[in-house]
Chains A and B, each alone.
Chain A
Amino acid sequence: MLQNFGKYLLFMKSLFSRGESPRILFNRTIDEAILIGINSIFIVAIVSTFIGAVTSVQVSYNLVSALIPKSTIGFMVREMTILELAPTITSIVLAGKVGSSIAGGLGTMQITEQVDALEVMGINSASYLVLPKILAALFVFPLLVIISMFLSIFGGYIAGTVTGEITAQEYISGIRSDFIPYNILFALIKAVVFSFLISSISSFRGYYTSGGALEVGAASTSAVTNSVIAVLIADFVCAQLLL
């Protein structure tokens, strides 16, 4: 494990040696951002909306005391969404979707000698292939988390009002009460940290694939599991350090 961590650090270092021109890096980053971002919006939207809806229903279910105002449902949905669900669940979903895609893509390029082809041309394959993916993830993940926050709160609103558990006015009152702007910053910091972990770990797993199709599948699987574990550990560390 320690050896793998050392290899990972050296891999990270290799991204910054013999880099391509800023123009090429910029174009590649935009391409990757479109791939990561656009292709992930649908799944993020679905997951976020339903998480918000389920949170709303479950909080409502647990509110048995008549002394607790109904607006607490809106408050709880907001707090849970912003602090935890939007950044963490979105990142875990993206670890599955984007992480496996990155590892599978790089792994396939490795076993079909496309990475060697880049190296023979004198191009730093790690820098050319991986750095734009990481930069794109750093840029796109926070945007997806912001979308997730909106949709999750919206999902809670729809579920709460449609089921008749809460009125629209109560819900909106709840989500506006005791708002701490720092929590948004905290969520975005987490999104940036998670995006780096997911994109770099998945790239590392994919880049060092050797063998055949079976190994590409194994690399994708390990990329997802390693990324998810890293995200959960980082989630705890961020909470300890930043809250």
Chain B
Amino acid sequence: MIEIHNIHKSFNGKKVLDGISGVFETGKTNLLLGASGTGKSVLLKCIVGLIKPDIGSVTFDGTYFTNNKLDIRQEIRRKIGMLFQSSALFDSMTVEQNVEFPLKMLTDMHKDERMDRVNFCLQRVGLEGSNRKMPSELSGGMKKRVGIARAIAPNCTYLFCDEPNSGLDPLTALKIDKLIKEITEEYNITTIVVTHDMNSVIEIGDKIMFLYEGKKLWEGTSDNILDSNVPELNDFIFANRLMRDAKKVEEEEERNEAS
């Protein structure tokens, strides 16, 4: 479980995060939802320690992370897997070397053990046989899969995904979403996903935090998000026609049931 408390962050006097608190539960896919520029990625980077918050604290399973001693932060970081928006694969390494990299750097595993783990992780994300490929030879969806394989390779306890399905076609995006959810449940890890994709919300959102202009406006699940009475959230959700039509159908069904 990850807890954040009163996170504030400003850049050049511009407030990006304004007192955000919340709890991200273990074994669940926790979503940070919001429009572009609302501070989702900044909040994620504050949680993993890539950006230092001005005020506020982050706790991983009860262990204080922000401003704690370097070795404690390092210890926590070694339990973190992260999938970046751009996949952030090391472009001078093959797929195999990318997935092997955290094992090589963070564990004492022998080469054979590492290769077994690499092959297992690649198989788990559906990329068996792609070991020798370079990142430049992969499609966007494959890069995300390799990113996930690299993140889970050292048996991470916390998985962070920054817009995992951005730039992907709807079908591939759905596959990536499902993979993240499956991995979260299979390994009982704490997953936080930054997204602005409503499909992801409906498909994998066990717990959702909606951010608007750096503030947390709403928190709930995918089951009750469509019934929220927060205008900014409703504007966001029903921005596309499909969601508006779905809402109308739902309301009609409710009226019919009532009558």
Stretch from B77-85, B204-212, B220-228 at the A interface: B77-85
Q: Is B48 an interface residue (CB 8 A)?
A: yes
Do B82 and A123 touch (CB < 8 A)? no
Choose one: B70, B75, B80, B88; the contact of A113 (CB below 8 Å): B88
Question: Which residues does chain B contribute within 8 Å of A122, judged by CB atoms?
Answer: 74-75, 77-78, 80, 106
Do A24 and B50 touch (CB < 8 A)? no
| A123, B101: Cα distance in complex, Å | 11
| A119, B84: Cα distance in complex, Å | 12
Look across to chain A and name the residue whose beta carbon is closest to the beta carbon of B48.
A120
Shortest CB-to-CB span from B81 to chain A, Å, is: 8
Shortest CB-to-CB span from A224 to chain B, Å, is: 22
Q: Is A18 an interface residue (CB 8 A)?
A: yes
Question: Which residues does chain A contribute within 8 Å of B105, judged by CB atoms?
Answer: 20, 24, 121, 123
Q: Is A162 an interface residue (CB 8 A)?
A: no
Choose one: B75, B77, B89, B90; the contact of A120 (CB below 8 Å): B77
Q: Is B86 an interface residue (CB 8 A)?
A: yes
Do A113 and B106 touch (CB < 8 A)? no
Interchain pairs with CB closer than 8 A, number: 49
Q: Is B235 an interface residue (CB 8 A)?
A: no
Choose one: B49, B85, B88; the contact of A114 (CB below 8 Å): B88
- Counting chain A residues whose Cβ lies within 8 A of the other chain, the interface size class is 10 to 19
Shortest CB-to-CB span from A199 to chain B, Å, is: 18
Do B88 and A121 touch (CB < 8 A)? no
Q: Is A117 an interface residue (CB 8 A)?
A: yes
| A24, B160: Cα distance in complex, Å | 27
| A35, B76: Cα distance in complex, Å | 34
Q: Is B91 an interface residue (CB 8 A)?
A: yes
| A70, B152: Cα distance in complex, Å | 72
Shortest CB-to-CB span from A128 to chain B, Å, is: 8
Q: Is B56 an interface residue (CB 8 A)?
A: no
Evaluate whether A114 and B91 lie within 8 angstroms (CB atoms) in the complex, with A120-B50, A121-B102 already known.
Answer: yes
Q: Is A215 an interface residue (CB 8 A)?
A: no
Evaluate whether A18 and B74 lie within 8 angstroms (CB atoms) in the complex, with A116-B50, A119-B50, A121-B102 already known.
Answer: yes
Shortest CB-to-CB span from A38 to chain B, Å, is: 16
Question: Which residues does chain A contribute within 8 Å of B82, judged by CB atoms?
Answer: 116-117, 120
- Secondary structure dominating the interface of B: mixed
Do A112 and B106 touch (CB < 8 A)? no
Question: Which residues does chain B contribute within 8 Å of A116, judged by CB atoms?
Answer: 45, 50, 82, 84, 88
Choose one: A18, A24, A112, A123; the contact of B88 (CB below 8 Å): A112
Question: Which residues does chain B contribute within 8 Å of A112, judged by CB atoms?
Answer: 86, 88, 91
Look across to chain B and name the residue whose beta carbon is closest to the beta carbon of A112.
B86
Question: Which residues does chain A contribute within 8 Å of B86, judged by CB atoms?
Answer: 112-113
| A43, B70: Cα distance in complex, Å | 44
Question: Which residues does chain A contribute within 8 Å of B49, judged by CB atoms?
Answer: 119-120
Do A121 and B91 touch (CB < 8 A)? no
Question: Which residues does chain A contribute within 8 Å of B89, judged by CB atoms?
Answer: 114
| A121, B98: Cα distance in complex, Å | 13
| A112, B204: Cα distance in complex, Å | 27
Interface string of B85-129 (1 = CB under 8 A from A): 110111100000000011001100000000000000000000000
Evaluate whether A18 and B70 lie within 8 angstroms (CB atoms) in the complex, with A112-B86, A112-B88, A113-B85 already known.
Answer: yes
Residue among A18, A24, A108, A112 with the most chain B CB within 10 A? A112
Look across to chain A and name the residue whose beta carbon is closest to the beta carbon of B82.
A120
Shortest CB-to-CB span from A110 to chain B, Å, is: 11
Question: Which residues does chain B contribute within 8 Å of A24, judged by CB atoms?
Answer: 105
Look across to chain A and name the residue whose beta carbon is closest to the beta carbon of B98.
A117
| A114, B98: Cα distance in complex, Å | 11
Question: Which residues does chain A contribute within 8 Å of B70, judged by CB atoms?
Answer: 18
Look across to chain A and name the residue whose beta carbon is closest to the beta carbon of B73.
A122
Interface string of A158-169 (1 = CB under 8 A from B): 000000000000
| A20, B106: Cα distance in complex, Å | 10
- Please give the residue numbers on chain A whose beta carbons come within 8 Å of chain B beta carbons, in ascending order: 18, 20, 24, 108, 112-114, 116-117, 119-123
The 4 closest A-B pairs by CB, nearest first: A122-B77, A113-B88, A117-B88, A113-B84
